[in-house]
Amino acid sequence: MRIATWNVNSLRTRIDRVEALLARHEIDVLALQETKARPDQLPLMGLESMGYEVASAGLDQWNGVALISRVGLDDVQQAFVGAPPFKEIVEARAIGARCGGVRIWSLYVPNGRKPDDPHYTYKLDWLARLRETATEWLDEATALVGDWNICPTDEDVFDVAQFRNSTHVTPAEREAFAAFLTDGWAEVTRKYAPGYTYWDYYRNRFQRNRGLKIDFALCSPSLAERVTHAFIDLEERDPDTGQPTSPSDHAPVIIDLTD
């Protein structure tokens, strides 16, 4: 079984890239973040003709998550129990379903904006609520995949000095991420794919490899034992491949599991 996670940065804009990615890598389940659309706005006919089912959550042109599966899509849940609101709205940042016997959650962790911004407090609260609920899933085959908007170590950012007063690297964020590992979740991509997963469009960041590693797959113990390989599709992020649409600022992360 092959699963992937990708912050697509607008599914409507990059539907051709999504369809090509699924075919190129023979992906069974693709978790998307930042789809930027309501479910009724998504162009799904091509995916359905390829044999995929789609479950999505989205409120407007911001946020949005989806699961695309050709191995089943059952028991779909939008948001997790206890998901906190931001300005009285529970944003479309989490969707889970059972696919091929594995419970997969597509997660788009809040950015946080700045350490003194209310969005930063919301980010930490969102992670704490997710952690509390996720402990109930540790005993089954579960994957928490997506854009975590955290660089857990200094190696995950191209220049730590530039980020000292920014989000993604603050002690509180790193402690929130590490708490999942303490609980028993295993981050399974770093062993096979240690590179960056995000590069800002600014000043040729991709070409200069000045990126961040913020996209991860945290697996329950039983599922982590099934991981055989993982890789980052750098070609998909490369702006010079000649594709008709521009790339997302994130690269897909792909994980292989034994059946």
CB-count exposure of residue 205 (10 Å: 0-12, 13-18, 19+): middle
DSSP 8-class letter at 27: -
What distance in Å separates the CA atoms of residue 50 and residue 139, rounded to the nearest whole number? Answer: 33
Closest alpha carbon to 2 in 31, 34, 43:
31
pLDDT digits (tens, 9 = 90+) for 150-180: 999 999 999 999 998 899 999 999 999 999 9
Report the chain's mean pLDDT, rounded to a whole number: 97
Pairing mode of beta strands 186-187, 65-69 = unpaired
Strand ranges of the sheet holding 227-232, from the earlier edge strand across to the other edge: 53-57, 65-69, 29-33, 2-7, 253-257, 227-232
Domain ranges, residue 193: 2-257
How many domains is the chain built from? 1
pTM of the model: 0.98
Coil, helix or strand for 167?
A: coil
Is pLDDT at 143 greater than 90 in this prediction? yes
Closest alpha carbon to 227 in 236, 218, 235:
218
Domain harbouring 206, CATH code: 3.60.10.10
